[in-house]
Chains A and B, each alone.
Chain A
Amino acid sequence: MDKGALARALGSPATHGQSQFAIARGNVFEARVKADGGEALVRLLHDRLRDDSPAPGPSFPPVTPDLSAAGPEGRTARTALALREATAAGRWTVLDHPLLALEVAGTPAYLEPDAIVVHPGGDWTIVEIKSFPMIDGAADPGKVGAAARQAAVYALALEGVAARLGGGPGAPGSPGGDAHQAVTGTVPPARTPYDGSDAAPWSQAPDGGRVAEVPAVTGTVPARTPYDEGRAAAPDGGHAAEVPAVTGAVPARTPYDEGRAAAPDGDHAAEVPAVTGAVPARTPYDEGRAAAPDGDHAVEAPAVPPPHPSGVGRAAGAPVPRVRDRVLLVCPKDFSNLPAAELVDVRKQVATTRRQLSRLTRVEDIAAALPEGTTFDLRPADDGRTPTRPVAELTAAVEAAPAAYAPECLAACELAFHCRARSRAADAVEVLGRGVRGELGGLTTVGAVLAAARGEEGDPADPAVAALRRAAALRAAALAATGASRTGAPEGAGPCR
């Protein structure tokens, strides 16, 4: 689901974008931080920790396992495996761009942190590398907050992995995979490793961000839309066409998954749900195209203990690895390209995110509430880009999914301009800001507020109406007294050309 394309087709394109200068700079900085086998990164972490863990060095170099695998679920599985090995290894391990899965509104979302460091003691620390500067030890609080919220999502996903490895019940399970889950898994893997300092907290996830922002949208994009198929085809070699067929036959596909998917409790489809979508039986992953890592994989995979039928007590005795609640934020120091790092406590953000995720309406529920046959298909022309679907039809489809616009959306969502236009057309007071509603009681439209203020409508006994009338009277009196009721501005030539 490309919300940007949808917004363009609706005539309200988003203004988000990334300058290639910023991307280049971010990539250079990240590469620099991760150079020399992650030793510099571990050293930054070790310096900040000030605990008794052994320092990395030539005699004690960090391990950087290869995490490449085909498809998002392959990479997720590879990450989980690498984490398990690293936890037992008693060494510093740097996982470069691991992939984690997190269930958002009943749908799996993939998340790609910049790095995860496994301590010699077996603890895990999330690393976020950002390209905004830390000047004199202080960075822009807004950007740090956004980074912390982003890291909190990773921490949640990682806790799920830890619980599974340790045998706890923390897996964010859902009762069995269904078509929708499978379908969402077909989105291409992470777009760009770079995540720009101003990126929305979710944007790094291949699709998780979109799911989280407007779950309704993603949930209603079945694999049947040619648009989606076109995209999905790219990463895994044209399997998209097979997707609908594959969904029903989840288990026993990849060698790695064999043991797990056969589990009688059946919740593994949910744990690595994307398996269904993008790694069907005949993926290159299986066919040994990526020989070396996959070879390993196949051999080691059975070592994952098969889950107990009851779903508890898996790998009995294995302690649950600890996900540290302080993440390492790495930024350029002052005006240089040298890294500076700070540990950021994300406990609060984790709690907030967990609560928000638990309250999200499930995608299936939203999809179920939509009229039969609702689709956001743009019906692209032969060039694959120009949409041919009538705007009115598309607008109606988008309207079918409920949306609550607030000005904050403008910074995060591609469809915000569209929602703003609809919100303005509906005369909703929220276009002026979320807080506005607080003082207005039951009045929800600008027209109602103004009518109440003029004394034409509303119950004078309602405190909100009474306050509005008083405000209108005071304002009118003050303006009349000074004769300043005009804006004072002449008819302008407009802001720009």
Chain B
Amino acid sequence: MSLITTLARMEAVREGRARPLATVRHRHLAERPLVLVPLTTAGEAGAPLGAMVGTERDAPRLLVVTQPRDRDLRFAFLAELADAVLPYVEGFAGDVEHEQRKETDPETGKKVPVEVELCAGAPQLLVPSAAGVEYVRLLGRSMRFRRTAEQDPENPYPAPPRVPLLGRWLTHFGERARLPGSALLLPMTQLLARHWATGQSGAEDQHLGALLGWLAPPPGLTGAEAALRAEQARDAEGLLLCPPAGPATDPAFDNRRLAPATARYDRARAEAAASPKAPEAALRAAEEEIRALLESQLRPTWDAVWRGVDLLRALPEGERVAERWKRDRWSYTSHRDRVAAGEPPQPRRDDAVTAARKLAARETAHARLEAQEALDDPLVMAGRRLAGEAFEGEVTEVVMEYSEAKVPRPRPLVTVVTDDGPLLSEGVKVHRVLPDGKAQPAEFVGHAAGGGGVLTVRLTGGMGRGKVPDEGSVPEKGDRVCWTLFEHAPRGGPELPEPERTPWTHGGPPDGSADAPDPLTAEDLL
């Protein structure tokens, strides 16, 4: 936690409510996001208990597994989930734009422009917390290797038709969520904590109810009181007034309400199975009871996620957010193409080549995100200035100089006065944003003799092709300018070779064989 963030948290402690950490919204927020609030059975790896899902805050779809240890009921739940999620996900596939991209021609080996499709929009999944993101990954993993009756007629426990496909999509969302700055799958706690500082620690910010307590305390309560209420307040039965955001349920709820209800359901089901003539009313009632119980746990979280959406919508979107969202659209488009091409599901474990690529991509995305957030938001830039990674000041002098090449280029010397203490040494590259949005490079020349925050940089580019710099590309006396020591569009390391050309020492080409489905166990123990 940087000092400036610590200070914001302390302000929040003193004021009793959250304080801003950003002046713009740093993540894309879709017009119509799909909110998914999953619940899982305690102690089981892949046994969902229920979920609330939908794009309309007033009309959530409640999905329930009345007995999570029953494979058929679980499959029915997953089929319903596929029914709720896939139409939304696939709804963005048809509306495409055309983009030019350079690709290597396999015959000539030259880069040639190719026209490719790019989906105009992409789905966005919102889950309550980081644990929800992990659960989406887990659900994806549990489903994508399933085989439907059509794929494998011999399979004694075929999965419902669209379940493996949902598994592949959820895996894609889960994998994408690991890329810094991506917005296909976002946890609400992380979104809110990025934009506001509360008066509690980062670990406590993982509790969505507590976080919202700090952000929007009810009248008469401070943020700390509202957060405490969200964490601890229980009703007469000992159940939390604010159920945890999941996917894990409150143990007290499990023990006092859910377990007896499940037992009643099991009994009713056994009776219904024993005598076909038995009235099904008891079974229905037991089902309804579990539905109502799970709704009582899911609905508060559902509402909380939407309240978070409201808070975020009040912030204007950062300038460079759209550029990152476009990368998400590329990601969505390419996975759409992989599914359409009939490629096998994502492997269980990435081969060495893929893993290296992913790692490089995440590092680049991280550096890019850091730079873009600072450029979009003066409050973030303030943190970088405090850390000595940027400086802002007023131009006091511009001296025109030229390079000593055959065709001399303008290399003006700009002197600025700044209060910041950038960590500079001679020749260090600095960057600033030009009015047209491009970055202009410069290098640090030295501190002025008088010291006291007066320093000189030499512009080294971004001034056009002529002998005279383009209009507006050289700052004038009296301008306020902000230079950064970090690049504005970091590109990461050198490109990795194609998988086929990767030597065996570095993992070599992937073997290409698809993973087999998970072995089935006859006993239904997951």
Contacts and interface: CB of A to CB of B under 8 A. Distances in A.
A19 B349 contact: no
Interface stretch (A183-191, A246-254, A373-381, A482-490): A482-490
Interface string A398-417: 00000000011011000001
B437 interface: no
B149 to A, nearest CB: 20
A21 B254 contact: yes
B73 interface: no
A474 B242 contact: no
Given A337-B525, A479-B379, A468 B314 contact: no
Nearest to A406: B201
Interface string A106-147: 000000000000000000000000011101110000000000
A493 interface: yes
Interface stretch (A10-18, A61-69, A204-212): A10-18
B448 interface: no
A20 interface: yes
Contact of B378 (A133, A424, A478, A486): A478
Nearest to A433: B201
A450 B8 CA distance: 10
Given A137-B349, A433-B1, A17 B251 contact: yes
B108 interface: no
Interface in B185-244: 196, 199-204, 208-210, 212-213, 215-219, 221, 224, 226, 229-232, 241-243
Interface stretch (A93-101, A169-177, A328-336): A328-336
A475 B7 contact: yes
B158 interface: no
Nearest to B137: A135
A478 B304 contact: no
A431 interface: yes
A491 interface: yes
Nearest to A17: B251
B385 A492 contact: no
B525 A336 contact: yes
Interface in A431-451: 431-433, 435-436, 439-440, 446-447, 449-450
B23 interface: yes
Interface residues of A, number: 72
A22 interface: yes
A495 B43 contact: no
B20 A26 contact: no
A151 B351 CA distance: 32
B422 to A, nearest CB: 13
A247 to B, nearest CB: 38
Interface stretch (B9-17, B76-84, B273-281): B9-17
Contacts of B42: 19, 21-22, 25
A423 B166 CA distance: 47
B513 interface: no
Contact of B315 (A338, A475, A481, A488): A488
B209 to A, nearest CB: 4
Interface string A444-486: 0011011001000000000000011011101101110110111
Contacts of A303: none
A20 B254 contact: yes
B105 interface: no
A114 to B, nearest CB: 16
**Number of chain B interface residues as a range:** 35 or more
A24 interface: yes
A40 to B, nearest CB: 15
B249 A19 contact: yes
Given A20-B255, A336-B525, A496 B230 contact: yes
A143 to B, nearest CB: 12
B170 interface: no
A439 B6 contact: yes
A42 to B, nearest CB: 22
B400 interface: no
A298 interface: no
Interface string B498-525: 0000000000000000000011010101
A407 B204 contact: yes
B213 A467 contact: no
B20 A487 contact: yes
B349 A417 contact: no
A478 B201 contact: no
A18 B382 contact: no
B14 A446 contact: yes
Q: Nearest 4 CB-CB pairs, A to B? A: A492-B216, A22-B43, A17-B251, A496-B242
29 contacts: A17-B251, A18-B251, A19-B254, A21-B42, A21-B43, A25-B43, A131-B43, A133-B46, A135-B138, A432-B9, A432-B13, A432-B201, A433-B1, A433-B202, A436-B1, A446-B13, A450-B11, A453-B7, A471-B7, A474-B382, A475-B4, A475-B382, A494-B221, A494-B229, A495-B209, A495-B210, A495-B213, A496-B304, A497-B300
Given A18-B251, A20-B254, A496-B230, 13 more contacts: A22-B42, A136-B348, A196-B43, A336-B519, A407-B204, A436-B1, A450-B11, A474-B4, A479-B20, A481-B378, A489-B18, A494-B218, A495-B226
